[in-house]
Amino acid sequence: MDFSKLLYYYEYKDGQAAYVYMVRCEDNSIYTGIARDLGRRMREHYYRKKSAAKYTKSRQMQSLEMAWTAPGWSAAAKLETRIKRLSKKKKEALIREPELANVWFSELREEGVYMPCKGISLEDCLKEEESTSMDRLEQQISFLLEIDKQKEIIRQTYLADGSRKETDAEHAWHIAVMCMVLSEYANEPIDVPKTIMMLLLHDVIEIDAGDTYAYDEAGNATKRDRELKAAERIYGLLPEDQREYLRGLWDEFEAMETPEAKFANTLDKIQPVLLTDHAKGKSWLEHGVRSDQILKRNERTHEGSEVLWDYVRNIIKKNTEGGFIRGEDNGA
């Protein structure tokens, strides 16, 4: 079944349709919920996927009894709340006569009309997965081919031997391995696999936004806007569930509030210092980088790991004394 045919095209308040649904479980109980994608939500419940509700994880869903399109997410949530408060007898009556949703809850009339989706079944939802699986794969392949462009983005940091500058893809691989090896030095316990995913994908936005050199003041002034637009497009290539999760990891990295994000940022900051130290300060010398610039850029690096920051701070001190990094603003 083409679910788009079930939508009623009046003006949704948030620009998107939302569904309110009632399903019957193996114990004959009725569960009510809301969803943007009704077909996908039914499959989550039926197959007891990780994203399913706790209720349907413990009670096998048997059938989709009724659904309504609602004029926006907020309106859907309000109807859901009211249906959940009904007695079992009234819920059964609502399933038989779904138009009652607009009669019983007259206080919701200002939200708009709740339109019953008649003739829809769980079988339709399960069949839909078969027809959309290839579309999902195409979206995933599109994303994977897009991020191949990271191999062409040249950063300002040289490889440890100073022979050439590293690419974005090499940087992401390197700090992901660093996370595997150095996670014991995180200030707080972290979810290592999650942090590795965060690190592998945190710079895909540079496909559109470009690599902004750490000490380029003009470039950094517009960096945030460029990266937000890039994140919207590039993560938007993925299927909705993966788009939400992986874009969420990027947002988490940027916010730098969780233990994983703090440690990921620490690794992202110290890796160029380690490489440049072994490359005899090559990029620092080329750009005339000062010690106060490096310290300013790393003022929060300790939040992920005090141990690693102490180690890198000694490297900065050594290179400043050795003349590979300029002293503070006096040009010494």
- The per-residue pLDDT for range 170-220, each reduced to its tens digit, is 999 999 999 999 999 999 999 999 999 999 999 999 998 876 665 566 666
Q: What is the pLDDT of residue 120?
A: 81
Q: pTM to 2 decimals?
A: 0.61
The string of DSSP codes covering 177-246 is HHHHHHGGG-SS---HHHHHHHHHHTTTTHHHH-PPPTT-HHHHHHHHHHHHHHHHHHHTTS-HHHHHHH
- The per-residue pLDDT for range 243-286, each reduced to its tens digit, is 889 999 999 999 999 999 999 999 999 999 999 999 999 999 99
Q: What is the pLDDT of residue 222?
A: 72
Percentage of residues of the chain with pLDDT beyond 90: 62
In the numeric block, the tokens 């003009």 are attached to 218
Q: What is the pLDDT of residue 15?
A: 45
Q: Which residues of the chain have pLDDT under 70?
A: 1-17, 128-134, 211-220, 329-332
Q: What is the pLDDT of residue 9?
A: 31
In the chain the domains, ranked by start, together with CATH numbers, are 3-120 (3.40.1440), 149-321 (1.10.3210.10)
b/e per residue 141-151 (b: at least 16 CB within 10 A)? eebeebbeebe
- For residue 289, the tally of other CB atoms under 10 A from its CB is 21
> Whose CA is closest to 268, among 181, 216, 200, 315?
200
Q: What is the pLDDT of residue 332?
A: 36
Q: What is the pLDDT of residue 127?
A: 74
- For residue 197, the tally of other CB atoms under 10 A from its CB is 18
